[in-house]
Chain A
Amino acid sequence: MTGVLTTLWLAVLLAWVLAGVGGLVLPPPQAVAAGLAAGAVAAVLFRDTIVLRGLVALLGSFRAVLPVLALRHLAGMAGIDILPFTTVELAAFLVAYVFFLAAATTALPANVYRLGYAPWPVAGMVLAVCAYGMAQGSLFIPLVAVAGQAFWVAGIGSSNWFDHVLHAALVPVTAVVLLERLLSL
């Protein structure tokens, strides 16, 4: 199951990249459609090539957050109204996540990541995220948290809930978005 979902995940990520490239020459809705089709074909046809095996080795196995983020962005390109993250949300996330990653090295003595293996802490964290989403009127973050919990409970992908809802690639992505907003002020 993890292998199948990883192929699907790759298809979405490739679709996102290809739609972005296609958007340079096509109207956004057509670029999204072409990206989705090309991503699916590429993920299936080339999944056993060194390029895609290397991509899986680099990014890790299936997890919820990246494909959901990519689909969210594609939906926005296709013209669907998307509630953007606020600058404060993004900045707070970036700072907290960098500290979280630093704790996985020797930079900080705490080991927050190990809480993601245990059911009680995960239950508390997911409920807190749902409460935050309800307070902010945002469905996206609770959706990622609960989807990640569902995969985690089902034993699909990582045995750590954090891996399902976070990814180190979010650090440069978030930083770039924040930089863009700063430059557009």
Chain B
Amino acid sequence: MIEALIDPLLAQLSPVVWGGALAVVSLGLSAVAIRRDRPLDWRFALPVEHPADGPPLFETVFDHRPAEGQAHSPAIAVKDDGFTLVWFEGSAEAQADVDIHHARFSRDAGGGWHHDTPAPLITRRALSACFEPRQAVITLGNTIQNEIAPDAFYATVVSVGGWAMASVADVRIDPDRRVPVRAHKLNLSPLLNRSHLVKSPMVAYADGSHGLPAYFEMKHGYSELVRLDAEGRVRDVRRIPEGRNAIQPMIVPLDERHAIAFLRNFGTGSRRLLVSETADGGRHWSAVHDSDLPNPDAPVAALALGGDRILMALNDDAQRSDLLRLLLSQDRGRSWRRIATLEDGGGDADRAVRYPMLRRLRDGSIVLAYSQRGKHGIRAHVFNDAWVNAQ
């Protein structure tokens, strides 16, 4: 009799009791997560001003042309004793035979730069085998240095489809064997974690952490700044307002709070380089708008030189990609002076020079790398501030 009364009561109460128990468990989990969480520091690391003493130096240190196929989208990984260039190479972009190649650069006894023989660094097969969890890798694309850890990269990885289905993978390298040993994809989208790519170097913050400029390229592209925790897991993502098909953000911090993002004009509009600014360390970005600089639907490279100075490498024409110039701004990007023409193909599309990257080395030198001959080679120069000032 009593059981007949209690059982229906328990049956009615049980979802409430179980739901309450789950809520208590959730509260405990939340307490752990909140206690462990380190609030993000939204102050950029201040760009260091390097002295321009000594003679002007400019040296072409790399002129790589693969025997066949393409070599494109070089990135510069800064090392204590020099730098490493990485790029993707294969029969053609987005094909199933593309791997990430590299060459290491260091100074010889005479102070000049030398490099070892270019060789594969991240192959599709090796990456597929070390992914956590293991998964297919069809092709590889833009790869940049992961500055959170030594011997680490962020690679654009395609497991299904084309670039619009790409993901960003955190890839760790064995420095002795020079092979990938661990990799996982960053979680950046609820759309099967697809359509995110990288191109430009990371942005340093005052607390030693870094932000990762990334972009979405499914239909109408947009850019964003990804903040990562100490373990390299995504902690926050801030969008640069969409609406202009502005991708491949090149973010240049100017002081603790201010930065400017130069964006490839991926749309069919003005053929001008797009820009957006932040005044709160990257939390919020202004609407994307045209700059006065031309842009033939191509990414640019830029580097803060300290003070209000910015150095930029860009295709300085609204249509031509065979023209590459260095520009210098002394007023935070409001006006620019053309200081050097590095490549001029005379309007020949087969001599296109694209995807520049600029990085400051530990010794204060500046490296500029880009692809040449219409994605069929990689060229790199090293120069110093004295050379920049002398132009």
**Chain A residues with a Cβ under 8 A of chain B:** 2-3, 6-7, 47-48, 50, 53-54, 56-62, 100-101, 104-106, 109, 111, 113-114, 117-120, 122-123, 126-127, 130-131, 133-134, 136-139, 142-143, 145-146, 149-150, 152-153, 155, 158-160, 162-163, 166, 168
From known contacts A54-B160, A134-B20, A142-B23, infer whether A47 and B134 are also in contact, taking CB-CB under 8 Å: yes
The 10 A-B pairs with the shortest beta carbon distances in the complex, nearest first, are A57-B159, A134-B19, A123-B30, A6-B133, A119-B33, A159-B233, A130-B23, A57-B135, A137-B15, A106-B220
Given A123-B30, A126-B30, A159-B186, 4 more contacts at CB 8 Å?
A3-B133, A130-B23, A134-B19, A159-B187
Interface of A is mostly: helix
Inter-chain contact B191/A104, CB cutoff 8 Å:
yes
State the CA gap A111–B222 with chains docked (Å): 12
Inter-chain contact B30/A122, CB cutoff 8 Å:
yes
Q: Classify chain B: how many residues form its interface, as a range.
A: 35 or more
Inter-chain contact A111/B237, CB cutoff 8 Å:
yes
| Closest Cβ neighbor of B39 among chain A residues | A118
Q: Quick one: which of B30, B190, B192 contacts A162, CB cutoff 8 A?
A: B190
Q: Quick one: which of B15, B159, B190, B234 contacts A139, CB cutoff 8 A?
A: B15
Contacts of A48 in B (CB 8 A): 134
User: Does B185 have its Cβ within 8 Å of any Cβ on chain A?
Assistant: yes
| Closest Cβ neighbor of B222 among chain A residues | A106
Give the residue among B16, B25, B235, B236 with the most A Cβ atoms within 10 A. B25
User: Does B126 have its Cβ within 8 Å of any Cβ on chain A?
Assistant: no
Q: Quick one: which of B34, B186, B241 contacts A119, CB cutoff 8 A?
A: B34
User: Does B193 have its Cβ within 8 Å of any Cβ on chain A?
Assistant: yes
Inter-chain contact A114/B236, CB cutoff 8 Å:
yes
State the CA gap A25–B236 with chains docked (Å): 50
Q: Quick one: which of A105, A136, A155 contacts B219, CB cutoff 8 A?
A: A105
Contacts of A104 in B (CB 8 A): 189-191
Distance in Å from the Cβ of A159 to the closest Cβ of chain B? 4
| Closest Cβ neighbor of A111 among chain B residues | B239
User: Does B67 have its Cβ within 8 Å of any Cβ on chain A?
Assistant: no
Give the residue among B26, B33, B186, B219 with the most A Cβ atoms within 10 A. B26
State the CA gap A160–B185 with chains docked (Å): 12
Inter-chain contact B160/A56, CB cutoff 8 Å:
no
| Closest Cβ neighbor of B237 among chain A residues | A114
Contacts of A113 in B (CB 8 A): 189-190, 237
From known contacts A2-B132, A168-B191, infer whether A134 and B15 are also in contact, taking CB-CB under 8 Å: yes
User: Does B80 have its Cβ within 8 Å of any Cβ on chain A?
Assistant: no
From known contacts A7-B133, A53-B128, A137-B15, infer whether A130 and B234 are also in contact, taking CB-CB under 8 Å: no
Contacts of B22 in A (CB 8 A): 130, 133, 139, 142-143, 145-146
User: Does B184 have its Cβ within 8 Å of any Cβ on chain A?
Assistant: yes
From known contacts A57-B160, A127-B26, infer whether A122 and B193 are also in contact, taking CB-CB under 8 Å: no
Give the residue among B18, B29, B34 with the most A Cβ atoms within 10 A. B29
User: Does B218 have its Cβ within 8 Å of any Cβ on chain A?
Assistant: yes
Distance in Å from the Cβ of B348 to the closest Cβ of chain A? 35
State the CA gap A125–B132 with chains docked (Å): 28
9 sample A-B contacts, Cβ–Cβ < 8 Å, listed by A number: A57-B136, A104-B190, A105-B216, A120-B34, A134-B15, A136-B15, A142-B18, A149-B29, A166-B190
State the CA gap A137–B13 with chains docked (Å): 9
Inter-chain contact B192/A168, CB cutoff 8 Å:
yes
Distance in Å from the Cβ of B223 to the closest Cβ of chain A? 11
Inter-chain contact B34/A123, CB cutoff 8 Å:
yes
| Closest Cβ neighbor of B158 among chain A residues | A57
Contacts of B219 in A (CB 8 A): 105-106
